[in-house]
Structure formats: C-alpha cells, structure tokens
Amino acid sequence: MSEKVKFTIDGKEFTAPKGQLIVDAAADNGVYIPVLCHMRDLIPAGSCRICTVKVNGRDMAACTTPVDDGMEVQNNTDELLDIRKAIVEMLFVEGNHFCPSCEKSGNCDLQALGYKYQMMVPRFPYAFERRELDATTPKIFLERNRCIFCKRCVRLIKDDESKSIFAFKGRGKTLEINIDRKLAANMSEEQAKKAMEICPVGAILRKEVGFIEPIGTRKYDKVSIGSDLKINS
C-alpha cells in the first residue's frame, strides 16, 4: 500500500497517497479546485493556472504540486478566488468567445467558470486577435478563436503509433493549435468525439454534430461546475 500523508486544505485535515497531485487529492477528499488544462492521469501541463492555491503560504499550481506530510493548502480565500476570476477574464479577452452562438455553450468549462466567479465585464481590454479557422480535415472543425492553449488535445489524442494528432505552432501572439491533416484523415469516430469532449472550450468540434443537446439538458444547465464535490468554493 502506498504511503499516506496528512495535509490540510483551508484548515481541514485530509489524507492522500504521498506524491498525489494536490488537485486530485483534494477531489478524492471531496474538495473542488478548478481546472482547465488538467486531466487526471495526463502528464500535467500547468499552463492555465486556474488551479492556483497557496501552499505553505506560496502561490502554486495545484495540478503540478504533489501533497506532502504537514502541507497547508489554502483554496478558498478572497485573494485566490479573485486570482481565478482574473484568469477567467484574461482567457475571455485573449480569445474571441461568443458564448450564445458556440456549439459548446452549456458544456464549456470556461463559460461555467465565468458563471461561477460571476464574471461581468473583464478588467482587461479585449485583444480581438484574428485567428484562422481550419475545416480541412474530414471529422474535425478547429475553431481557433476559442482555444485557451490547455494542450489537452496534444497530450491525449494520438494515433496508433502514439503520434499526437494535434500540435502547437508558433509562439507568443502567433501561437496556434494545429491538426495534422494526414493523421486526422484516419481519425476514428471515437477519437473525434473524444477530442471534442476533452476540449474544455469549443475549439475542437466534431463536424455535423453541433447543438445536438437541447438547452436545459446540457452539462452545466442544472448544476454549476464542481458541484459534484462536497466542498466547492
């Protein structure tokens, strides 16, 4: 059996296997820490920082930091909630997000976090970057306006030889998500669906299946993000 450690989140004591990432240890103990780029069992990317917590007084990404014995984690403070809200606002102004016309509306983690943190008018100016769309592959439509560069697709969607079907190109302002046309031509139906599903926004769309879930039945129509966990800040 793996060694257990004791740690606290907002003063409450919990246990978890030594080395487990804070975000997963928190979820296993019923505590919600928001994530966008993180997925359990994927190599952490630590790119979005929405999971920022204080660990022994220092700001850390909960998805890249393992729990340790005696660790004190703060998750629900006004300062951290405002940092998360600011990150959501930043992601909204960096891309071009028009929720009412988005196929992922109601199933989008970024939109759900916008509601959760009661985002109204972002504190940052909109960038209105011009981003090209890509509809050249048989099953996938890449809506780059909505990409938040979480890298989930790059890390998870691979062909039979473990080659990534998605990849980033460029850097800084020219950074964009791309799809390998040759590999994408052989994508299975399941892979295409999975790619759309794991994208936390509406940047990866399975062609011909937009808006199939009626309003009222979508993932976040009835419950807010993270509400499946008992301690939800």
What whole-number distance in Å separates Cα of residue 158 and Cα of residue 165? 5
Residue with tokens 């929720």: 99
How distant, in Å, are the alpha carbons of 10, 76, 145, 198, 228 from that of 210?
A: 41, 36, 16, 15, 26
We find the least distance from the C-beta atom of residue 51 to ligand FES, in angstroms, to be 3
Mark out the alpha helices in 131-203 (DSSP H runs): 152-156, 181-185, 189-198
- 162 contact partners, CB below 8 Å, separation of at least 6: none
Proportion of the chain in helix, strand, coil states, percent, rounded to 5: 30, 20, 50
Q: Among the candidate windows 47-55, 139-147, 176-184, 214-222, which touches ligand FES by CB under 6 A? A: 47-55
What type of residue sits at position 44?
P
Q: Does 46 bind ligand FES (CB under 6 A)?
A: yes
Q: Does 36 bind ligand FES (CB under 6 A)?
A: yes
What whole-number distance in Å separates Cα of residue 113 and Cα of residue 225? 7
Q: Does 203 bind ligand FES (CB under 6 A)?
A: no
Q: Which of 49, 84, 146, 152 binds ligand FES (CB under 6 A)?
A: 49
What whole-number distance in Å separates Cα of residue 12 and Cα of residue 123? 33
Q: Which of 22, 26, 35, 147 binds ligand FES (CB under 6 A)?
A: 35
Q: Which is nearer to ligand FES, 64 or 191 (CB)?
A: 64
Q: Does 61 bind ligand FES (CB under 6 A)?
A: yes
- Residue 32, φ and ψ in degrees, nearest 5: -90, 125
Q: Among the candidate windows 41-49, 91-99, 107-115, 200-208, which touches ligand FES by CB under 6 A? A: 41-49
Q: Which of 60, 63, 108, 179 binds ligand FES (CB under 6 A)?
A: 63
Q: Which is nearer to ligand FES, 47 or 159 (CB)?
A: 47
Q: Does 51 bind ligand FES (CB under 6 A)?
A: yes
List of residues contacting ligand FES (CB under 6 A): 35-38, 46-51, 61, 63
